[in-house]
Amino acid sequence: MSSDSPPTLASLAQALAAGRTSSRALVAECLERIADKQGEGARTFLKVHAAQALATAEFHDQMRRHGAASSPYAGIPISVKDLFDIAGDTTTSASAVLRDAPAAQLDCPAVARVKAAGFVVIGRTNMTEFAFSGLGLNPHYGTPLNPWDRATGRIPGGSSSGAAVSVTDRMAFGALGTDTGGSCRIPAALCGIVGYKPTAHRVPKSGVFPLSSTLDSVGPLARSVACCRALDGVLSGDIPSAALQELASGGVDRHSAAAVRGLRLGVLTSYVMDGLAPQVAADYQRALRALSTAGASLTDVDVPELGELPGLNRKGGIAAAEAYAVHRTRLNSDASRYDPRVANRIMRAREQDAADYIELLHARVAFIERVSRRLIDFDAVVMPTVPVSAPALSELSADDVYVRTNALILRNSSVVNFLDGCAISLPCHEPGTAPVGLTLFGLRDADERLWPVAAAVEQCLL
């Protein structure tokens, strides 16, 4: 089903229902793109489930012919980040350390849910080793290049690097990723698609290799808000079947019924605006003007507490401490098999003791309470997803530059994880220019409030 306009999950569902395409044709199309020697398939996928995907596609085509499709999306290929257990596969977390680990016995709940809804897992995508970087580099398996300006060789963003590239290059029509400090939203922003981070407890994390049990969340990357809404609904189990059907038909359900007019949007000042690249600043301001012109109420919000975050995380933060608990034994026995840059980030946790970690958890609770009071009255809060556009890989060869760039790229998105909130990144750049993401976020468990806001803002930005 090739066209100049990238298909959405809804358009694919409609084409399947009308018989204009088949699951087998969609899977074959994705496999062809993955295998293209001129493309990024070899660096994007760590494992391709070609035979299983084709067999599953045949099954869904037969079921649909008999009026028994498991959902409107049955037969649509998606990719899965290499943190998720898939029965019969080894979950390597894109590392060399886990290459010889035993295969998973069961699908993790997130994978089981998308399979039950009929999505076809086309393969496992590359990522930053153990998900511990916002840049997307991987020295073991290569780094999939950002689809924008491949001639220069730019980073895809991470840690869900392969997830974003698989969608952007139409090697899959949606992707499962994880987000601990921005790992769904950063690559989505830098590659020009949509990425969603739910409230952390919204989607089960069992069977997903952890980076930080406190901050990790499971979210989708896809072409549109409605695509991410559908995938999140399946992953969380929160969307009724009637609403799923409505989304698949291209209709407007209660989650996307809001209009921009009258929306109360808080616009963060300072901190997240520091060091903005000129193009990012220009695209972001143009997006704000479009929202204001469409009738949204935009209010600048100063949140001085955000300036406390570098100090709170000065010893590596929650993520380093919890990652060190997972990796300490392996690092002590064979640190040489790790990406040195990832190992260094994990080892920063040695600066913390148990009291430091407990104090940080308590400080986080107080931080959330203070910041929530400033933001509670808004329908959503707005900020740039990433302060800069995607740098070239060649710019990151020096370790000190890598560390500074990684910190800058993670800075804005990680605010939401520390707040235990939910967030979505939408493209807001001019066509043909470097992708730039606009973030909308809400507080803990505001997911259902955020979806209609995101759908309305998306329409305003198109």
Burial group, residue 3, by CB count within 10 angstroms (0-12, 13-18, 19+): exposed
Please state at what angle helix 225-236 crosses helix 447-461, rounded to 10 degrees: 160
Q: Which pair of tokens denotes residue 220?
A: 């989708």
What CA–CA distances, in Å, run from 104 to 91, 127, 209, 292?
A: 7, 19, 11, 50
Contact (Cβ atoms closer than 8 angstroms) between residue 418 and residue 451: no
Q: Which pair of tokens denotes residue 374?
A: 């400033």
Contact (Cβ atoms closer than 8 angstroms) between residue 12 and residue 226: no
Is residue 81 part of the annotated active site? The answer reads yes
Is residue 315 part of the annotated active site? The answer reads no
Burial group, residue 315, by CB count within 10 angstroms (0-12, 13-18, 19+): middle
List the catalytic residue out of 71, 133, 183, 413: 183
Contacts of 398 (CB under 8 A, 6+ apart): none
Buried b (16+ CB within 10 A) or exposed e, 426-462: bbbbeeeebbbbbbbbbbeebbebbbbbbbbbbebbe
Is residue 297 part of the annotated active site? The answer reads no
List the catalytic residue out of 133, 159, 160, 425: 159
List the catalytic residue out of 11, 23, 81, 256: 81
DSSP, collapsed to helix, strand or coil, labels residue 205 as coil
Catalytic residues: 81, 159, 183
